[in-house]
Structure 1
């Protein structure tokens, strides 16, 4: 039986090879997975032209996935240096890479990325439009925007972020609203500018059906971007954000009618006590579609440490039902992340995702922690390193401060609680001098 997309296959009762891969990774029955995909509650972003892909699922009952943002820009155009980050991110077993390239040899980078990456690849085509077309923003035509989207699909991008919910009605409310940080979404701000400069409706909204044609042809998942996400805790959960979310819910149904898979993007900056309500609201308004968030950052005052502010918010968001976390690095709000920034951002976000998975009782999550606890009780340092989320750092810390007694560490030495209790339980002598 033929099918066009993973969702189309799922609705027809077909088990695809991608579904089988994901079911095995997630320790879930493949038939149950198929049902969730048919309902739109799980997506498998898998472009037909991404040949190196190791499929991942995003959504209900699955592990919380982590995305890494990379790409070249006007100030940092070194493709080889960015590919070094790609290799490191892949070695760290991330599930997704978003190519946010906006200037220079963007297609060269994208093609190299897709060629080597087993991780799913996302992009924001509007970022690429100005450089790819070599035209000022206001002069880009609606057809040219579609051409850039089509090129990304042809190249093998698995999911695209499009800011289709930023209608003129929503824009009017932005202009009449006392938002502290206005529009902080780069894609949203570009579309807002284009709409104002050309006195037209959002071309991504008016051409949504044509975009679905492209996505259906190549099985590209639509990630409905939140152009109006709050860029400060002062703006979180305001009327502008909610108005756009309502539009995204309507667009979700239109995409599903065409068997195009959908994710919904979300905040952003948000006070910690608003996170759970936002997750519930998104899931309700957008009919249970997978939820993909940046952070959320729970305070605005920590530049240089925003991998921590976002991990705090990300852990709670994941625990309450968020399916996909976009990493935030220590360089957020300050500069393009370097290799070390990227690594710190990945680790912080992976910790947040796993903490959420424990709360959601995702298959295998608690078992990992239990194995680590057993290795600690056994004072088995090699097993602890093996189970670490960052083995290199853990091993380096121990090597930098070696204990007198190898079955302890320099924090407690012979007073190590694990060592003491273990000896007592074995009826052995306890000597602390």
Structure 2
């Protein structure tokens, strides 16, 4: 039998079993888009018509060679300004792994876009211009990665060709960056010297930096351990919809963490009712047990009131039931967030009315200082808020779960997302019983 593989099989198969979500960040002109373009081009993940469009656009701008940054800088405004404004998502695969990458903006005024891109990432690549070293925006991006608890950070020291590929330059930058990231609590930093323009250490090892013995960027992306231990965590199953079939009620949704087993006792949150899993169904087939990440439907042994927004939980670490939540938020809307503002809070599949009770502080990412009582948050601000909800929520700390510890604040008038929130360990009124919260007034007046 021939061992020949088609180009498609080489790029996408035979069937990669793991997925890595990663984001790129860095200051303006550090080469993020060029790195991503080089990564896509050299890993043969660019279609012929895409490359033709890039070549045409490059010639129109007077470039002698294709500008690979245009593979991600898709917005016309980005191409005209030469900077990345929006988050550009790209999907590609190698024989070893599938990837979803988010090329995020570098300018300070687009910090909110970086938060969007890195919020679901398992790894962040932070680029640094070898000529400039660690700058203010570099520290800002590392702080955001630490705040979002991205488990893996890669320092890509770019434009090494412009500093004669000197190891001493790379070593000094790597030492400063790693010390700062470690102080912020980043668990893992991998430093790689590269030239995105020339392709050194992006996909192929660089002959001009033979003093470096570590992996290329792609090698590291293919080999880094992925997964946040969701399958071994506490069980969290937010109900997305109720399905009635042949007289039975099934509750459909995605299992965010832990496992569900037939015969296992589960608690319906926030009511606190305990019941048993009677049956599990995955893609129309019965299952005895299901692990995190699967979409499924669950039938319970008891006829109890369960609807969209409720959550089935199990395990030694129950969620905290709260109507007043303290959290860190990144404000993403152009209109400010103010004390006393009425909002909607969306947590997993549950959306409830809420009021912003207080904004105790605003974080300055440059030096990580706290500015007390700012009164409001504007676009790109990160600060602490206290929000009171009309109905109880089953929340985890964001430190324990990036899925069930996160939420959105939404403008009830037009549905605009106002802020992305990360629940902290300080929950006011945590542990409140269902009876206590039900006794409070309904609607906005609470």
TM-score tier by shorter-chain length is under 0.3
Larger RCO of the pair (alpha carbons < 8 Å, separation 6+) = 1
Query: Given the two structures, how large is their TM-score scaled by the length of structure 1?
Result: 0.28
Q: With the length of structure 2 as denominator, give the TM-score of the two structures.
A: 0.27
Q: Which has the larger radius of gyration?
A: 2
Structure with the larger strand share:
2
Higher helix share: 1
